[in-house]
Amino acid sequence: MSAASFEASFGDYFAISQLLSRTVNLLDASRLEEWVDCFADDGRYYVLSRENYERKLPLKLFQCDNKNMMHDRVLSLRQANVVNIHRDQHVTGLPQLAKNADGTFRADSGYALYTTDQGGISQLFGVGAYMDTIRIESGQALFVERNVIVDTFSIPNMLSTPI
């Protein structure tokens, strides 16, 4: 997506920064139902490898094409799937913002994700980048699209929860 300018008002920057920090804090607290509310109704969430992203290959590791799919995924995690109990902790970089011609914003930032198991052993789960398209509606920033670009070649465990 081509960016028209790299300028954002303080209010826009603050709203976007709040969205980005709220998102990872909700994931780290396992408040997945509230995490879904960080997306616009037409919002999309994708996790893909760096290689596929750069080559524009369509295969994704995780794909939700709308908010209803995200709700279904969370419901499945809560009621149907059996996953190893763990706690996530994100470390994220400051976003670089660009305003798109359509009024949305592009926000790019890096992340590292650590997991801690029930025994208290922490390990690096993965690193990569968030490449987001964000819309501000009535002063509230929402994801139109969140692309999680995974640099880690081999994810050590099953990808069950959002990154």
CATH number of the domain to which 113 belongs: 3.10.450.50
Q: For every one of its 163 residues, what pLDDT tens digit does the chain have, with 9 covering 90 and above? A: 444 445 678 889 999 999 999 999 999 999 999 999 999 999 999 999 999 999 999 889 889 999 999 998 888 877 875 567 778 999 999 999 999 999 999 999 999 999 998 889 999 988 999 999 999 988 899 999 999 999 976 665 556 778 9
Residue 158 lies in a domain: no
Structure token pair of residue 85? 């109990």
User: Residue 60: inside a domain, yes or no?
Assistant: yes
Domain annotation covers residue 156? no
| pTM for the predicted model, two decimal places | 0.88
130 inside domain: yes
In sequence order, the 6+-apart residues with CB closer than 8 A to the CB of 78 are 32
- Whether residue 47 is contained in a domain is answered as yes
Supply φ then ψ for residue 72, to 5 degrees.
Answer: -60, -40
Count of the separate structural domains present in the chain: 1
> Does residue 37 sit within a domain?
yes
Residue 65 is encoded by which pair of tokens? 């094409």
Which domain, by its residues, includes 69?
Answer: 3-150
